Amino acid sequence: MLITDFGVRNPVIAGHSMGSLIAIELAMKHQLNCQKLILLGTALPMPVSSQLLAMTKDNPLEAIRLICKWSHNPAKTPSGIATSSEITAASLQLMERIHHENSALTLFSDMNACDAYQPDFESLKQISVPVHIIAGEADKMTPLSAAKKASGYFKNSHLHVIPNAGHSLMTESGEETVQLLSAILNGGI
């Protein structure tokens, strides 16, 4: 594993959305002795609607359009120089480019993996390091209610909510997300 190959000791493991599920698995199964776990835009489990899942296979470009639409809060005033619609458009372009550069079934495979993921709830309780869950208040993909529920599965969890943010926390609430991550990493939270 790359982390151990480089001799990294006590890493902080972080992941967004599907990446949060991967982060959990790394923390549980690979004995990395991580010092913190940071989960952004998470839900446990992480169900995907059957209609969206079918669309990722049958009409992936329309699925990408909907995912981008649902991942951003149009009422959010971004902290950077781009408008909410510009951020959504840029996300759409990026996802379309990734789709065209990869297998036509990559999006379906990713969304199916999220949908099929069943955490080992007993093992989650064994994670003793601080688990920071960062949620967007207006997230439609992994709703705040799901983040609140997920925080209850860990014995040392901290839920942080970014006001008015959707699922794409890093793009539409970049400044707030970086400040929060900095505070977590530097021990301020």
Indicate the angle between helix axes 84-101 and 106-116, nearest 10 degrees. 110
**pLDDT confidence band for 147 (50 / 70 / 90):** very high
Q: Prior bond to 74 cis, omega within 30? A: no
The reported pLDDT for the residue numbered 184 is 97
pLDDT tens, residue by residue, 151-161: 999 999 999 99
Question: What's the average model confidence in pLDDT over 34-52?
Answer: 96
- How large is the C-alpha radius of gyration of the chain? 17
- pLDDT-derived band at 28 (thresholds 50, 70, 90) equals confident
Query: What would the pLDDT profile of 44-84 be if each residue is shown by its tens digit?
Result: 999 999 999 999 999 999 999 999 999 988 887 666 667 77
Give the pLDDT score at 78.
Answer: 65
What tokens appear for 108 in the block?
Answer: 């379906």
Domains identified in the chain, total number: 1
Q: How high is the mean pLDDT of the chain? A: 91
> 140 is in which domain, residue-wise?
2-185
Please report how many Cα atoms fall inside a 13 Å half-sphere around the Cα of residue 24, on the Cβ side: 32
pTM over 0.85: yes
pLDDT digits 0-9 by tens, 110-132: 999 999 999 999 999 989 999 99
Please tell me the distance from the alpha carbon of residue 167 to that of residue 140, in angstroms, as a whole number.
7
CATH of the domain at 106: 3.40.50.1820
In this prediction, residue 31 carries a pLDDT of 64
Q: How many helices (H) and strands (E) does the chain have?
A: 10, 4
| 142 CB neighbour count, 10 Å cutoff | 26
Question: Contact 94/101 with Cβ under 8 angstroms?
Answer: no
Count of CB atoms situated within 10 Å of the CB of 61: 14
